[in-house]
Amino acid sequence: MGLSIEMQLLLVLSLSLIPNFEAQLEVGFYSQRCSPAERIVKDAVRSAVSNDVGLAADLIHMYFHDCFVRGCDGSILIDSNSTNTAEKDFFANKISLRSFGVLDSAKSKLEDMCKGVVSCADILAFAARDAAEMVGGIGWDVPAGRRDGRISLASENLANLPAPTFTVPQLTQLFLSKGLTQEEMVTLSGAHTIGRSHCTSFSNRLFNFSSTSSQDPSLDPRYATQLKSKCPKGNTNTNLVVPMDPLSPTVLDNAYYKNILANRGLFTSDHALLSDPSTSSQVSEYAANVFLWRTKFGAAMVRMGQIGVLTGNAGEIRRNCRAVN
């Protein structure tokens, strides 16, 4: 039984009136307000990433941590001061995040051109996209109009970020609590095809099992041996890092899923996507179809970028990304 054209139109219209959280942000938000905004950010990211390709991973990582802790409000960029320990000084952030200067340089140019117009939260959202474009050729339109938060607490990280020892139900639960689906969780985890990890983030897989080798039996033994040679037992040196995808460490591609299928996922949480039947078929699908993953990744990054955003009169446009006004 077909609906009349009128009924179909009515349905489309009424569906488009249902408030959804995507409606708050807008692609091209700065085109009238500060037309060079997206280009200025892209230039800053291009020059930084061409000097140090690792910054691309860092920008994407930083965006994820910004969005999951108190929403995508640029709170990750705020510096600590005498009365407050900010998000960036949470241990795991402190040893890892390092592209603050890239965002500062974009922000200072934008303040010169369009004073008080472009939020730090949006600058980070654009920069993460530009980074993905540079190392993966994956681009997407970034809905913008985020405003900056005034609160940044290191103490809020632990409860809001996934741990590398999480199981699929734990990962799924956390992503659901942020408005993201289990499928999006699997899709976004593909970001682990670039960048690096500190030994401390996966040493639980190398030294804490009752087998003679002491390593996680679900980890490819040859890979485990390589990892042990780079990450000696008991070494807590926070400078020791390994690439998360040894095959193509600087390319944002679907190698993450291929590694997982080969029992070469680095974290317990990466391998869990294969061992849990509710996510394993998605891992195989993405390993086999890079185009599918790329498309889904861009869409999921847009959705992640909507988490807890401040719009309208909420928050502020920070003058300096490192401090509240």
Ligand X SMILES: *[C@@H]1O[C@H](CO)[C@@H](O)[C@H](O)[C@H]1NC(C)=O
Which residues contact ligand X (rule: CB under 6 A)? Answer: 78, 81-84, 86, 152, 204, 208, 324
| C-alpha to C-alpha distances, 24 to 146, 212, 307, 317, nearest whole angstrom | 9, 56, 11, 17
Beta carbon of residue 205, minimum distance to ligand HEM (angstroms, whole number): 12
User: Which of 206, 190, 203, 205 has its CA nearest to residue 253?
Assistant: 190
User: Both tokens of residue 181?
Assistant: 């689906």
Q: Does 201 bind ligand HEM (CB under 6 A)?
A: yes
Here's the x/- map for ligand HEM, 234-273, by CB under 6 A: it reads as ---------------------------------x-x----
SS3 category, 87: helix
Residue 71 is labelled as binding a ligand: yes
65 assigned to active site: yes
Residue 167 is labelled as binding a ligand: no
Cβ contacts of 215 within 8 Å, gap of 6 or more:
205, 206, 207, 209, 221, 224, 228
Q: Does 88 bind ligand HEM (CB under 6 A)?
A: no
User: Both tokens of residue 264?
Assistant: 């070469």
Residue 26 sits at φ, ψ, to 5 deg, of -145, 130
- Beta carbon nearer to ligand X, 69 or 304: 69
Residue 79 is labelled as binding a ligand: no
Judged by CB under 6 A, which of 164, 265, 298, 305 binds ligand HEM? 164
Beta carbon of residue 260, minimum distance to ligand X (angstroms, whole number): 21
Choose the contact partner of 191 out of ligand X, ligand HEM, none; CB within 5 to 8 A by kind. ligand HEM
179 φ/ψ sector (left φ>0, alpha ψ -120 to 50, else beta): left
User: Both tokens of residue 28?
Assistant: 């091209």
For 292, other C-beta atoms within 10 Å of its C-beta total 14
Cβ contacts of 217 within 8 Å, gap of 6 or more:
209, 211
Judged by CB under 6 A, which of 106, 121, 135, 191 binds ligand HEM? 191
Residue 117 is labelled as binding a ligand: no
Residue 19 is labelled as binding a ligand: no
Judged by CB under 6 A, which of 145, 195, 308, 315 binds ligand HEM? 195
Residue 192 is labelled as binding a ligand: yes
Residue 17 near residue 105 (C-beta atoms within 8 A): no
Beta carbon of residue 253, minimum distance to ligand X (angstroms, whole number): 30
- Which positions touch ligand HEM (CB under 6 A)? 54, 57-58, 60-61, 64, 96, 162-164, 166, 171, 185, 188-189, 191-192, 194-198, 201, 267, 269
Catalytic center residues: 65
